[in-house]
Amino acid sequence: MENKDIIIGILLIASVGLAGGLGFVLISSPPSTETPTYLFGLPDDWSTAPNSSYFM
């Protein structure tokens, strides 16, 4: 075996290991269950809301 073959083999093993590690991280990470907060649907005038003095 030549040095070139050894280097190619090491690079192949390293690339397969890195690809497997990246795939594991992408698959094993839990999906985000936090829902975003949207500002639409809120009243513009808080004076009619309960506890409106808190918002003024």
**In sequence order, what DSSP letters do the residues of 6-43 get, joined into one string?**
HHHHHHHHHHHHHHHHHHHHHHHSPPP-PPPP--TTS-
Per-residue pLDDT at 10 exceeds 80:
yes
Instruction: State the pLDDT at residue 43.
Output: 66
Written as one letter, the residue type at 36 is P
Task: Count the domains in the chain.
Answer: 1
Instruction: State the pLDDT at residue 27.
Output: 85
d(CA 49, CA 12): 65
Mean pLDDT value across residues 4-29: 92
Domain that holds residue 11: 3-55
Confidence band, pLDDT 50/70/90 cuts, at residue 44: confident
To which residue do tokens 């083999």 refer?
9
Rg from Cα positions in the chain: 28
Confidence band, pLDDT 50/70/90 cuts, at residue 56: low
